[in-house]
Amino acid sequence: MATRRPSGTFPVPVPRTFGQRFRAFWHRPDDFLIDAGKAGELVIARIRLAVTLILLLIPLGNLATAPLAERETHLTGLLVTVFAVGIAVLVYLLVARDRRQAWLPLATSVLDVTLISTALLIFGFRVDPLQSVNSLVTFDTYFLAIAATCLRYDRRVALLAGMTAVLQYAIIVGIVAATLGPDSGDTTRYGQFGWSDQISRMINLSLATAIAVYIVRAMQRQRELSTSDSLTGVFNRRFFDDYFANELERASRYRTPFAVAMIDVDHFKQFNDTYGHAVGDRALRAVARALQRAIRRSDLVARYGGEEFIAVFRETGAAQAFERVEGIRQAIETEPLPVARASGPARVTVSAGVASWPEDGLTAEELIGRADARMFEAKNAGRNRVIGPPKS
C-alpha cells in the first residue's frame, strides 16, 4: 500500500498499482505545498476583485447612457456584477486572513468557473440563447480559471475545477438545445447551434484540465526537489527560513504555541575520521529517518547545516516537545549502522536543545538562539541528552 510521508520528509514511495495511484492522487497535499499555494491564492483573490470592479463600470456606463426602455436589462447586469463584487470582496478577506483553510482553494476555484457559467446563462436569458453557447469572449475565461488553479499546488483542485467547468457548460448547452432548438435565436449575429462545435468546446475544456493537472504535478515535484536536502531528504535551510517566518506570523495572529528543537550529532568529525564519510552520510540519513518517524504532518524537520538538524512542532508546548525530542534521541542512540568491519555496527548519539514560543522569545533569532544555546548546554553536560526550558 502507498504511504504518505509526514510534512517535511522526502522522498515519498512511488505508487505502483492503479488503486495506489488513485489514493495518492486524492490525498491532501503536504503543508509545505499548501504554504506554497497560499501566495498564489492571494494573487488570484486580488485579480478576481480587480476584474469584478472593472466589470462594474460596464453596467454603470450603460445605465447612464442607455435609453429608458433598455435600462431594465442593464439594471439586471448591474445587480449581478454588484453581487460578484461582493463575493470577490468576501473571498479576498478570507484569503488575506488565513490562506491555509483546507476548503478555500477548491471553493474559490469552483466559484470562478461558476461565475463564468452564470454570466453565460444571463446572456442566454437576457440577450440571446445562442450567445450562451457561441460566446467568443466569456467562454474563453474558463481557460483562465482552469490555468489559475495551477497556482494552488493541488492536483485535486485543478481536476475538480475543470470537471465543474465541463459539467456546467454541458448543462448550459443542454438547456439551450432543449428549450430553444437549433433554429432559434439571432443566427445572423450569434451564429448557429451545432452539436459538433459544443462537443469540441467541452473536449477542449477537458484537455485544458488534464494539462493543468499535469502542470501542477510537475510544479509539486520541482518544489520538492528545490526545497529538500539532497543527502537526507528533509527540507533544506533555505526553505526552513521561509517556513519559520510564516509560522511566527501565524502563531502571533492566533496566539498558538509552538516549539523548536536544535539537534546536533555528537562527535561527528571523529565519527567520520573513524568510519569514513560514506558511513557518516549513512549516519546523517539515519538521524533524518528518526526525525521523520517522530514528527506529525503539521510539523517540519530540516537540515540546518552540516550535522545539525532543526525541528518545528506546531501547536505544541515546551514539555510535550521535550518528550518528543527525548524519544527521538533514544531512537537514534539505539539504531545500529552496519559498517564493513568486524567490530560490529556503529552508533551515533545526538544532543538537542528545545525552545518554545512565546516563552523563550518572539522572533526567529531569539527562538533559534535559545534552542541553540540549550543544545550547547547539552553538549557541555556530557552530550547525548536533551535540555529544554526550566520547569516552572
C-alpha grid cell, residue 116:
463564468
Nearest to 172 by CA among 125, 205, 108: 125
The verdict on whether 333 is a catalytic residue reads no
Q: Rounded CA gap, 377 and 140, in Å?
A: 63
Q: Rounded CA gap, 209 and 184, in Å?
A: 32
Q: What share of the chain is helix, strand, coil (3-state, %, to 5)?
A: 65, 10, 25
Q: How far is CA 105 from CA 44, 57, 191, 389, in A?
A: 10, 28, 36, 39
| Sheet with strand 308-314: strands edge to edge | 300-305, 308-314, 258-265, 350-357, 386-387
Nearest to 143 by CA among 203, 220, 99, 218: 203
The residue from 41, 249, 307, 333 that is catalytic is: 307
Helix (H), strand (E) at residue 234: none
Q: Write phi, then psi, for 228 (nearest 5 degrees).
A: -105, 155
Q: Which amino acid is at 196?
A: S
Residues assigned a catalytic role = 307
